[in-house]
Amino acid sequence: MCLRARQAHVTESAVSLDPRQARTDRLARLRGLYAIVGDLDPVGRAEAVIAGGARVLQLRMKRSPAGAILDAARRIAALARGRALVLVNDRPDLALLSGADGVHLGDDDLPVPEARAIMGEELLVGRTVRSADGARVALAAGADHVGYGPVFASFTKVLDVAPCGLEALAATCAAVPAPVVAISGITLENVTAVARAGAAAAAVIGDLFDRGDPRSRAEALAAAFARGAGGHPP
């Protein structure tokens, strides 16, 4: 059975939906707190932050074998169903097999057209970009949203790119005709400003898991983002 046929058995999308409409519906849900979980207890951490209000969950297991990533992705996709989008980092094949909502590609990962060929028209493809021009290139290649940054200095990895700041984030959000996820260095102290700059979502790692109870921290971050976006948590 091919990957796409296999995925059809595990996704919750209604069979009557046009694939592009299903992707549009997913994209409309890409809002608010975007949590990233790694190799350490990914399922437990995902469950906690989704319960706390994360509306997007990226699984980024850089040090684990493919089988472990697939198992975690399947379990997270099941617990998130109807509550949060699930994206798998780097691996469109595992995203498709697991029943996730899409894939996120780093700026040096698989090219977007190849990922889109694997994912089909129904699922999401996100791409990390460093500029508005980079975002336009990614969208033209088949991405439907972008992760833009670093907005602030990263707490979790060394980057060879200087932080762009809130002004550049706001300009990019205004210039790009697709959801922009703000990435890098986002905390409870600055997430409201990130939302006010126009970001559709704010990606958070360290401030979720290094500041006490992840569920409580997710609740606080989701509420703070919503204040900046001028509404209530989605």
Q: Does some domain include residue 49? A: yes
| DSSP codes of every residue in 134-183 | HHHHHHHHT-SEEEE--SS--SSS--SS---HHHHHHHHHHH-SS-EEE-
| Per-residue pLDDT band at 108 (split at 50, 70, 90) | confident
Q: How does pLDDT run across 124-150, given as a tens digit for each residue? A: 999 999 999 999 999 999 999 999 999
Does residue 2 lie within any of the structural domains?
no
The letter for the amino acid at 146 is V
Mean pLDDT of 54-71: 98
Q: Is residue 4 part of a domain?
A: no
Dmax (CA) for the chain in angstroms is 48
Q: Which amino acid is at 6?
A: R
Assess if residue 5 is contained within a domain: no
Nearest to 106 by CA among 77, 144, 148: 148
Average pLDDT over residues 46-60: 98
| pLDDT reported for residue 11 | 47
- What domain range is 35 assigned to? 16-229
Mean pLDDT of 208-219: 96
Residue 1 lies in a domain: no
Find the CATH number of the domain harbouring 149: 3.20.20.70
Average pLDDT of the segment spanning 49-78: 98
pTM over 0.85: yes
| CA angle in degrees (0–180, nearest 5) for 59-24-56 | 25
To the nearest whole percent, how much of the chain has pLDDT over 90?
A: 84
Closest to 157 (Cα-Cα) out of 62, 45, 32:
62
Instruction: Look at residue 200 and tell me if it is in a domain.
Output: yes
Beta strand 145-148 with 56-59 is unpaired
Residues 14 and 11: their CA atoms lie apart, in Å, by 9
What is the pLDDT confidence band of residue 2, given thresholds at 50, 70 and 90?
Answer: low
Query: Residue 68 falls within a domain, yes or no?
Result: yes
Q: How many structural domains comprise the chain?
A: 1
- 53 phi/psi in degrees, rounded to 5: 120, 5
In a domain, 30, yes or no: yes
In this predicted structure, what is the pLDDT of residue 94? 98
What is the radius of gyration, based on Cα positions, of the chain? Answer: 16
Q: Could you tell me the pLDDT band of residue 107, with boundaries at 50, 70 and 90?
A: confident
